[in-house]
Amino acid sequence: MILENNPHLSPRTNRGIRLFYCAAIVLCLLCTLIGILFWHNIQAKAEAALICTLAEETNKNADNLNRQIAGVFNTLSGIANSIAAIDTEGPITPPRRLLSIKLDEDHLSLGYAACNGCATLYDNDGAICAKLDISQAEFFGQALLGSPCAEYAVAEPYADCETIWFAYPIWRGSQVQGALIAVYKTELFKSIIEQPVFDHFGYFNLTDAAGRLILRSDSPLMKANALTISQLGQIDAQALALIQDNMAQGQGGYYNFIDTDGRRMLAAYQPLETVLGPWFMTCAVDAQYVLFRTTSGKIPSLSLLIVAMLLYIGLFFFFAQVLRREQILLDIQTERSRILEETANEHLIDYNPATDTLRYSFRIRNGQIINGELLDILKEKKYRRIVSPEYWPHIEDATEKICREPGKITLECLSLPWMGGDDYEWCRLTLASVGDEKGRVISVLGRVENIQQLMKARENAAMDPMTGILNKVSLRKKISDALEEYGSANTATLMIDLDNFKQINDNYGHMVGDIVLQRLAQIMQRVFAVEDILGRFGGDEFVVFMQNISRENVEKRVSQFEDILRQDQQNRHDFINIPTPSIGIFYTKDNGLDVDTLIIRADQTMYEIKRRGKNGHSFWQQPQAESSEQGQ
């Protein structure tokens, strides 16, 4: 996998590698497309299976519902026959004892309605609980025609709950003389919707044609305060309109919605054929469970298809690699020769990972070339004889990485001269490794350059020539490097500006001003720690950056700095005194802040001290508006 990205392989090899990798990608895309189509087909079958299951359950529930209604009518039939047997002549006056019977726990009241629709209802204690006119009620009209009937309603005296009103005709001879009225809670049918659905991954509800929930499931999957099917979750507006049209026409259907917990639910609804009117049995099931249940027998087929395609791709890779092996080995030798030519400057090294052997070649001052070989170079860590100890971990990390996979690494370290000497000098080590057709490293080539003069020039360029501390560019880079490695938490940034420094230049000249800045830099180097970063930011502005320090220690260090400046002013008897400083301090415990933020906030604090009269120090205070925004 490394060699196809190597720009130094021959064009023919690179072209061949690109071709067979493109072919492999096309095969992977083809597998993905087939898998997607296969899965969509499974999902469609899963939804179809849900509709079939719901239709079966709906028919079963309709039968149970009708049986319960028939049971109520049988009970009312016995009471009606008893009333007719007692009152054989004259107006019917049902005995109160027959109307105060509690039929079951969902029964609310029992009563009698004369043919004119005047009805009297009695509670379970035999007390009259309501007198009302039901002459316009459809279920009562059907009873007067001789047919038992029932109707769902929310009406007085039970306006606070949902009820079902039953009417059973009372016959005297061949004439209907009135009707027996019974009122039940809708919980009478609760047992129908409480049966387990798909191993409790779904629930049933009973709704009317308007989509209002007549009976609600107690399932934990269902929204607690939902009153209609539209409140069960997020339903597409177009799908909701179709549901309402189908229910109005007494037709069933199915739809998808997202419940309040973010689950995708498959739902279906089917009409119930009962005497209670156009009611619907609705069912909602977790889509993930439906797919799992309906695809459990098909997943192995999909898995076999994917495995077969992957096997074909693997064989394609294998034969393509075998056909190109000879060409790749030839290119490896070409690459090795090219690296040798490129690195033939100063000290040349050639390391063999298999034998842990290092061959070297370098020129000495008279132009003579010295060749040699070191055995067990990594095993016995022989590089430690010349490399400074602080760079041992860097050398070990670099060699481990370059021997693990083909690549290139450059690092700088302090090393003793190869021809002898006691002083460490800077050198640059450049390593490049070459791998075989399987990506295994077979050779590491490189060079060692002496960059002592380069490092000295780099160090001089980083310093402010007047004060001997870091200049602005180097200061910012060093702070940025520290932030990248350790973060900005528990750091302090000081912006130091001398008060009225311009007057020194104007009154005594710029040479005296330069002496003042030099003395200030010397005092800063004495007061602040070696690990602190000091630099001249520009003019008479200096920056100090401290890490891993508490706010209290920052306060102590700044106060010590101010005390030493005052002592210096008192002890000197010439006119060259260091002016008082204004010191802005930005201390933070937050991580992730950059160097610009630290310096800007310290600078803002310093100018705030200037506005308040100069000569002092202060910590940065978060502006009120910014504090309020962060609090929100």
pLDDT digits 0-9 by tens, 245-298: 988 888 888 888 888 888 888 888 888 776 666 788 888 888 777 666 655 544
pLDDT digits 0-9 by tens, 546-588: 999 999 999 999 999 999 988 887 776 566 778 889 999 999 9
118 pLDDT more than 70: yes
Q: Residue 628 has what pLDDT?
A: 44
440 pLDDT more than 50: yes
- 3-state SS, residue 362: strand
Q: Residue 595 has what pLDDT?
A: 92
Please count the other Cβ atoms lying within 10 Å of the Cβ belonging to residue 432: 21
The mean pLDDT value for 174-202 works out to 79
Nearest-10 Cα torsion for 610, 614, 618, 623: -20
Percent of the chain whose predicted confidence (pLDDT) is above 70: 75
Q: Residue 1 has what pLDDT?
A: 38
User: 470-473: long-range contacts at Cβ-Cβ below 8 A with a sequence spacing of 24 or more?
Assistant: 470/533, 470/534, 470/535, 470/536, 471/535, 471/536, 472/535, 472/536, 472/537, 472/538
Q: Residue 450 has what pLDDT?
A: 79
When mean pLDDT is compared across 170-184, 317-331, 556-570, 606-620, the lowest value belongs to 317-331
Tell me the CA distances in angstroms from 114 to 91, 119, 170, 522, 541, one per residue in order: 9, 6, 10, 115, 106
pLDDT-based confidence at residue 218 (cuts at 50, 70, 90): confident
491 pLDDT more than 90: yes
pLDDT digits 0-9 by tens, 359-415: 887 766 555 667 778 888 888 888 888 888 888 888 888 888 888 888 888 888 888
27 pLDDT more than 70: no
The length of the chain in residues reads: 632
Measured in degrees and rounded to the nearest 5, phi and psi for residue 161 equal -150, 165
Please count the other Cβ atoms lying within 10 Å of the Cβ belonging to residue 12: 11
DSSP state of 255: E
Q: Give the pTM.
A: 0.39
Q: Residue 632 has what pLDDT?
A: 41
When mean pLDDT is compared across 5-14, 165-174, 262-271, the lowest value belongs to 5-14
596 pLDDT more than 90: yes
pLDDT-based confidence at residue 594 (cuts at 50, 70, 90): very high
Strands of 366-472 (E only): list them.
369-375, 407-415, 425-435, 441-450
The mean pLDDT value for 140-165 works out to 82
Cβ partners under 8 Å of residue 49, min gap 6: 290, 294
* Residue keyed to tokens 């520290």: 482
* Structural domains of the chain in order of their starting residue, each with its CATH number: 87-188 (3.30.450.20), 343-455 (3.30.450.20), 463-627 (3.30.70.270)
601 pLDDT more than 90: yes
The mean pLDDT value for 78-88 works out to 78
Q: Which residue has the higher pLDDT, 182 or 365?
A: 182
Instruction: Tell me what the pLDDT averaged over the chain comes to.
Output: 79
Token digits of residue 155: 């009406």
When mean pLDDT is compared across 411-420, 437-446, 597-606, the lowest value belongs to 411-420
Q: Which residue has the higher pLDDT, 316 or 388?
A: 388
- 3-state SS, residue 397: helix
Across the chain, how many H-helices and E-strands are there? 15, 23
The mean pLDDT value for 347-356 works out to 84
Token digits of residue 150: 């029932």
Cβ partners under 8 Å of residue 67, min gap 6: none
The mean pLDDT value for 465-470 works out to 86
